[in-house]
Amino acid sequence: MEKSNLSRRSFFKFAVAAAAIVPFIAKATKSFAADACPATAPAGKALASPTEGMGKTLQYVLDAKTAKSPKYKAGSKCGSCKFYNVAKADGGYAPCTMMGMKYVTNCGWCTSFAAKV
């Protein structure tokens, strides 16, 4: 009888510990997925171009790690910018206020970057 209670007690300790860890694992997985650059652009969306219009003016790059501007700070990217409209995101792309609501990649960057508060 004593051994059965110990087993049950051990099981519940393990279950509570596992339940406490699950949200942290889920958050880490979600943030890792959000950091990945999308492979393809969403179909039918107007995309900002690094070589034309506001994209060229603001020195927009598809991957922030390739930014050559002296204004670039490590870790800054479209996905963490206040002009990036996360509510309308589609496959790692979302409209940007500074790009005339054209879609930009979440791992892109431009000189108008402003961190979300």
pLDDT in tens, 41-86: 899 999 999 999 999 999 999 999 999 999 999 999 999 999 999 9
Residues 6 and 54 in one domain: no
Q: Is the pLDDT of residue 15 over 90?
A: no
Residues 71 and 99 in one domain: yes
Binning the chain into helix, strand and coil, the percentages to the nearest 5 are 45, 15, 45
Residues 11 and 68 in one domain: no
Residues 27 and 52 in one domain: no
In angstroms, the CA 32 to CA 24 distance is: 12
Domain count, the chain: 2
